[in-house]
Amino acid sequence: MFRLNHTHDVNALSWVDSAHQHAHFGLQNLPFASFRVPQTDEEFRVGVAIGDEILDLERLCRAKLVNARTQAILNCASGPQLNALMAMGADAWHLLRQDIFEGLHQQNREWRAWQTCLVPQASAEYQLPSHVGDYTDFYASIHHARRVGALFRPDNPLLPNYQWVPIGYHGRASSLQISEHPVFRPYGQLNSSPDSVPVFSPCQRLDYELELAMYVGSGNLQGYPVTIDDAEAHLFGLGLMNDWSARDIQAWEYQPLGPFLSKSFATSLSPWLVSMEALAPYRCALQRETDSPPSLPYLHSEENQQSGGIDIQLEVRLLTPMMREQQQAPHIIGRSNFAHSFWTAAQMLTHHTSNGCNLCPGDVFASGTMSGPEAGQEGCLLELTQGGKVPLILANGEQRTFLQDGDEIIMSAHCRRDGFADIGFGEVRGIVCPAAEYGR
């Protein structure tokens, strides 16, 4: 687990003016992305956010402004995506962060040379920060599990295995997409009653899911599990995720094997990946109810118990076509926190590899819908509208039970703690588009 160091100093300032008091990307954050300038012959390459700018690591590599040790790391980090850097391990990530921090610090006398490596974020487009070979979706919020379970099993909302096993399913990596990519309403089989004949049509109960994506850094060999004590060394960082869900397709298909086409049509990821080292100041104790059973020994360590959680404030907003036309601000429909997660990122990674499953650099596993215990902390419309029974009333008088065509979901996240700088994750956005003409 990364420790606090000088890169977390709240008083540290950058020579990049826009970094001062930036809502997301101050000097203490330095998140990664894969970007390029559109309508040019440029290829995608890795960059680091600082204020409203991107530090182009390919340009930095060519400029040879760092020492030989970091230059070797940059040779890997300046590729189109982060997989090669991820494979290098935690020591390399730490050294690169330190040298980038010092290069962007206001006391760097060579700042003019570094300035030539900046690209405005406003002129960039993005792809996924890593090539994702595999994607797993967990179910780590007990509050989400209870609320959803109560809709279908009022007398037994939480299944007996939930507090023992980090539940997850294998997702579809090919349908992971970058923020702002259109989300087409999916087709599927719908059936409101087990006694009726299903129909094939566009989904009518489209939903969002407020989640965090966890990116694997260095992987593990097949057959060799990662222990809870070593799990953090295999985690590169976190990003925002919206795991779009077709609730009517899901209700018909999920028994007996779980989600399939209801989840594989689109999952949106933010372009920015916040490193685990940047998140060190916001660690917190694992939060569970007092009557929760203790984790099995392979999922327990004192360090994970005391600081395995991360205090990340999450927010989801809805912008409807009417709001857009009337130039109204998006309506906040939910706030939650990753600290409410029943399982830590380290526990999810440990359990994922416990059978010998091999994870690879750049792989993603998701938290599942991050709901909190209180009203207003629901992470999806299925919870918020109690399965569509209680419509959500928006500020302009519109109502929603599930998403309509033209609706845009905007998710954001921040970390805040007294004595440390605020850092953010940027946004993940997606607009619902009508179902495509079938067969074209």
Tell me, yes or no, whether 261 lies in a domain. yes
Q: Are 208 and 318 found together in one domain?
A: yes
CATH of the domain at 288: 3.90.850.10
Tell me, yes or no, whether 440 lies in a domain. no
Domain boundary pick from 92, 127, 162: 127
Domain boundary pick from 127, 156, 176: 127
Q: Which of 144, 331, 351, 352 is catalytic?
A: 144
Q: Are 113 and 248 found together in one domain?
A: no
Q: Is the pLDDT of residue 226 over 90?
A: yes
CATH of the domain at 98: 2.30.30.230
**Centroid of chain to Cα 310:** 13
Task: State yes or no: is 144 an active-site residue.
Answer: yes
Tell me, yes or no, whether 12 lies in a domain. yes
Sequence-distant (≥ 6) Cβ neighbours of residue 429 within 8 angstroms: 179, 180, 268, 408, 409, 410, 411
Q: Are 224 and 242 found together in one domain?
A: yes
Q: Are 25 and 169 found together in one domain?
A: no
Q: Are 421 and 368 found together in one domain?
A: yes
Q: Are 216 and 295 found together in one domain?
A: yes
Q: Are 110 and 157 found together in one domain?
A: no
Query: How do residues 323-373 score in pLDDT, each as one tens digit?
Result: 999 999 999 999 999 999 999 999 999 999 999 999 999 999 999 999 999
* pTM for the predicted model, two decimal places: 0.97
- Planar angle of CA 329, 25, 61, nearest 5 degrees: 135
Q: Are 100 and 181 found together in one domain?
A: no
Tell me, yes or no, whether 378 lies in a domain. yes
Query: With bands split at pLDDT 50, 70 and 90, how would you rate the model's confidence at 217?
Result: very high
Tell me, yes or no, whether 341 lies in a domain. yes
**Rounded distance, CA 143 to CA 318, Å?**
22
Domain encompassing residue 26: 6-127
Indicate the number of domains in the chain: 2
Query: How do residues 132-182 score in pLDDT, each as one tens digit?
Result: 999 999 999 999 999 999 998 999 999 999 999 999 999 999 999 999 999
Q: Are 59 and 171 found together in one domain?
A: no
DSSP secondary structure code for residue 20 in this structure: T
Q: Are 186 and 45 found together in one domain?
A: no
Contact between 318 and 395 under an 8 Å Cβ cutoff? The reply is: no
Share above pLDDT 70 across residues of the chain, in percent, rounded to a whole number:
100
Tell me, yes or no, whether 438 lies in a domain. no
pLDDT at 179: 98
Tell me, yes or no, whether 1 lies in a domain. no
Domain boundary pick from 127, 151, 180: 127
Tell me, yes or no, whether 439 lies in a domain. no
Identify the weakest region by mean pLDDT among 191-205, 218-232, 298-312, 389-403. 191-205
Q: Is the pLDDT of residue 440 over 80?
A: no
Q: Are 29 and 170 found together in one domain?
A: no
Give the helix/strand (H/E) hosting 305: helix 302-307
Q: Are 106 and 199 found together in one domain?
A: no
Query: How do residues 141-152 score in pLDDT, each as one tens digit?
Result: 999 999 999 998
